[in-house]
Copies of this chain bind each other. A is one copy, B any other.
Amino acid sequence: MTTAALSPSPLADLDTAALREAHSSFARAYDELKAAGLSLDITRGKPSADQLDLSNDLLHLPDGAYRDAAGTDLRNYGGPNGLTELREIFSGALRVPVAQLLALGNASLTVMHDTIAQALIHGVPGGDLPWANQSISFLAPVPGYDRHFTILERFGIRMIPVPMNDDGPDIEAVASLLAADDSIKGMWCVPVYSNPTGAVYSEKVVRALVSLDAAPDFRLFWDNAYAVHHLTDDRPEPIDVLTLAAEAGNPDRPLIFASTSKVTFPGSGVAFFGASPANIAWFQHNSAAQSIGPDKLNQLRHALFLKDADGLTAHMEKHRAILEPKFAAVDEVFRERLSPWGAGSWNAPKGGYFVSLDVADGSAKRAVQLAKEAGIAVTPAGSTFPYGEDPRDANIRIAPTFPSLDELTAALGGLCTAILLAEAETLLADRD
């Protein structure tokens, strides 16, 4: 590594001459990187082929079987609530009673999208009007998940950013926004191993979210995407948000979404929807016009494969064995390459699919652009913010799961080269 010749110190502390020297060294390293002609991709939170192989038994299941425990023929129409046996497997991890947990189609994104579409067209229990008949907005903890933001952007729903802390969204900010603005009808929440910061909502934060004064048709869009996706033995106790909300007198506030997308096969999994009885009845009424029932054979396939809650836990351990070294590599490469220059700050998540990296303000877009030009595709800077606009231009989402460990390490090394050059450029420009 050509930068090794310099004795590294935090870039911001260097005098301008030393900064120029560092910049030249980073630029040379970057030229070498480009010359290497890499083609690597760490853009999306996709499981790797190794992880998908863990579920290959699904490819011949249900192996002739087609009845549920009650004897119903699952090949035919019907069964809008989904297969009871599968709902039982996920009920504990999601802390939703089986009767209030529906097993649906192949994507929780679809369920979230459709829930908002129904709220726009029909309104939700407790609300006077369809959301489309009002000028409404959502709270969006940032950094957050770009697909959440895209749904709202397409529907023309205004997003109000809220800062994320290590224990969840900043509750003081949430409280003051909700108190001041009755148009706020929803809030995105990824309560466990939040995308991308890895934050786990504390019980205190959850209690506040279900208790704060808000519009009667305000909903928490509780995307529990990573409930069982642990990377360490230090695991958060699942929080029963439905019970906490009921205790707070707001039983209809949480709408819970989850899926097996990152448990089995992302394209061919099963999505779940959990909520209060009133919300479930609302959802069932709406979806009765939309569907005669989900793919129950795929649900049977999953129930036969996972077997029970213990089977799910054991299966997720196999994912962890594949993922843990990749997340360790992120931390290692960043420590080795960025820390000596005082560049970057990042988290070491205990689960989920992402690492959130903050670089020097004003450097993220440039760093991602430099990486791209060197053949390393990274999630576009800004994508973790509504409308793709990171006001500090600092956040980069790292998705380490899909590439092999070697490819990942190469991609991260290249990204670090790009980041150091971008930070040095930014600092020099500030001194002009």
List A residues at the B interface (Cβ < 8 Å): 44, 46-47, 49, 52, 55-56, 58-66, 73-79, 105-107, 109-110, 113-114, 117, 120-122, 132, 147, 150-151, 154-155, 261, 265-268, 286, 288-298
Q: Taking A121-B155, A295-B268, A297-B268 as contacts, is the C-beta distance between A59 and B63 under 8 angstroms? A: yes
**Sampled A-B contacts (18; CB under 8 Å):** A46-B76, A49-B73, A52-B73, A59-B64, A60-B60, A60-B63, A60-B64, A75-B265, A75-B267, A75-B268, A105-B105, A109-B290, A109-B292, A147-B292, A151-B290, A265-B297, A267-B297, A268-B296
Min distance, Cβ A156 to any Cβ of chain B, angstroms: 9
Q: Shortest distance in angstroms between A300's beta carbon and chain B's nearest beta carbon?
A: 9
> A289 to chain B: which residues have CB within 8 Å?
113, 147, 150-151, 154
Give Cα A290–Cα B109 distance, bound, in whole angstroms.
Answer: 6
CB–CB A52/B75 < 8 A: yes
Identity of the chain B residue whose Cβ is nearest the Cβ of A270 in the assembled complex: B295
Determine how close the nearest CB of chain B comes to the CB of A196; give it in whole angstroms: 17
Across the interface, which residues of B come within 8 angstroms of A52, CB to CB? 66, 73, 75-76
List chain B residues, Cβ under 8 A from A290. Answer: 109-110, 113-114, 151
Copies in the complex: 2
Residues of B within 8 Å of A79, CB to CB, are 267
Which B residues touch A288, using CB under 8 A? 150
> What B residues does A49 contact at CB under 8 A?
73
> B294–A106 contact, CB under 8 A?
yes
Least CB separation from A150: chain B residue = B289
User: In the docked arrangement, what's the CA distance between A117 and B117, Å?
Assistant: 7
Query: Other than the known A52-B66, A56-B66, A109-B290, what 14 A-B pairs have Cβ atoms closer than 8 Å?
Result: A49-B73, A59-B62, A59-B63, A60-B60, A75-B265, A75-B266, A78-B267, A113-B290, A151-B289, A267-B292, A267-B294, A267-B297, A268-B298, A295-B298
Tell me, rounded to whole Å, the shortest Cβ–Cβ distance linking A272 to chain B: 16
Q: Are B151 and A44 in contact (CB under 8 A)?
A: no
A286 partner residues in chain B, CB cutoff 8 A: 154
- Determine the residue in chain B with the shortest Cβ distance to A290: B113
B77 touches A46 (CB 8 A): yes
Chain B CB within 10 A, most for which of A78, A121, A267, A298: A267
Tell me if B109 and A291 are in contact (CB < 8 A): yes
| Most B C-beta atoms less than 10 A away, residue of A59, A60, A120 | A59
Which of chain B's residues have a CB closer than 8 A to the CB of A151?
A: 289-290
Q: Using A52-B75, A59-B63, A154-B286 as known contacts, say yes or no to A266 and B295 having CB atoms under 8 A apart.
A: no
Give the Cβ gap from A68 to chain B, nearest Cβ, in Å. Answer: 12
> Which B residues lie within 8 Å of A59 (CB)?
62-66, 297
Q: Within the complex, which residue of B47, B64, B107 is in contact with A291, where a contact is CB–CB below 8 Å?
A: B107
Chain B residues lying within 8 Å of A261, measured Cβ to Cβ, are: 77
Q: A296 — which chain B residues lie within 8 A by C-beta?
A: 267-268
A121 touches B110 (CB 8 A): no
Shortest CB-to-CB span from A123 to chain B, Å, is: 12
Contacts of A65 in B (CB 8 A): 59
CA distance A171 to B181 in the complex (A): 53
